[in-house]
Structure 1
């Protein structure tokens, strides 16, 4: 989602955009379009057609959710991680639907399933992760939908588009310096090496979970969905585990990659401090929650 990443994004907008562009100049890529929509205080969605593609939800120009097959949504993070049980989730859905266009997040908080600050942090984490997943493959066409249905679970405060672009570029550059092109690593299927039992006992619990989930057929995305963790957080752990020779990488599928925002340097640059937290617990700012690796930021 960085402007640099999408400098040669698809040069045409959908006919719907052209028909509704009246007073605004044409834009060449999704980031520029999102910045224009922020200026217009737009509420609706932008649908991106690529592999995997996705839907970017906006409220008054702020990004409140990103739904893409490339990364777990807030719902998946909460349910697959076991943070919220299926019964509690179903009860909240019933409550929300009983009042028409109800707020699922408010229902979850009201029934005591999760705190408001933690829910906001998880939703912010899902937005950042969804944006990161979108740039792992080349961009396609896009269209704007003003009357789009809202996301099932959204970040109420929203995120400034510029803040999202900056964090996505930072994540991409970090993984590029530490390992190489993140799109290649994201497509790599992982299986464990022959790890001595003593080593397994000493490693962090989330690394043991990754080893258990790494069947040789799963990518980082698949592991993220299986464990209820963000793709970026899984990739960071895969880099750490690969450095300890805990993983065997199967050849990556041949798929074109989006260009990196940073020059390729030798792998091995230190990664952010390993906090051991699979999900963030709070958001320090109302509109600009930070990115992984920064103070108080979501992973």
Structure 2
């Protein structure tokens, strides 16, 4: 393991405040965080691994009406692996929107957020307030499909989480999850509020997906979620790309830096001609999807 950067939790709270206009200091009981990279598999994570509690997610859900998006393209990408006869377990089911998309023999959804459970029930989807670790104790090798949409990046003990999910899965069953793609310059942008603790604990690259064979899983596919590469999107990607270059040049943290430094650098980037930025995008940036859908088979 190697430390990529270390920063004060007050800085993260300042970033949350600027983004959402709310003080999130109640959710930080630690003075600082370090950002680590695994030298073997390139997996990235924050330590201490402090995940947000139920109240944290309820506040985000109140601030962002579409926090649990009912129209995620990942849903349809995963749906093609599910047949009518399958028993499906969804870990971190949110508002129950994925359950409304699929058709299967049996569906069980696990969720901690009380508000999300209430919203799911209003849609006719009953969820269990239970961890996958607890669920796995009485449901060994029960399911044909394990699904988890944008949950792995939130989990503090990722090893225990995946191990429990695999325990619930039958031989030759599919373990499928979607996560943000850290190889994308938008997803991994500097001061990306929701890509910082206590929201996201881990960050995934294509290389890190290859390391789950230790759980008896065989990687089947990694699919990028398609995005519209409009001019606005391309310019945003270039801005994030250049901001990273500036922070590296100044030996600043590559994850979270002061708002003053961001504003100063952004003002400089905004002075560049649009045509030049589009040339930079075309020749210097290998763009990838914002999110990845990863499919494994249990051996």
Tell me, yes or no, whether TM beats 0.5: no
Q: Which has the higher contact order (CA 8 A, sep 6+)?
A: 1
Tell me the TM-score normalized by structure 1: 0.32
Greater strand percent: which structure?
2
Instruction: Give the TM-score taking structure 2 as reference length.
Output: 0.32
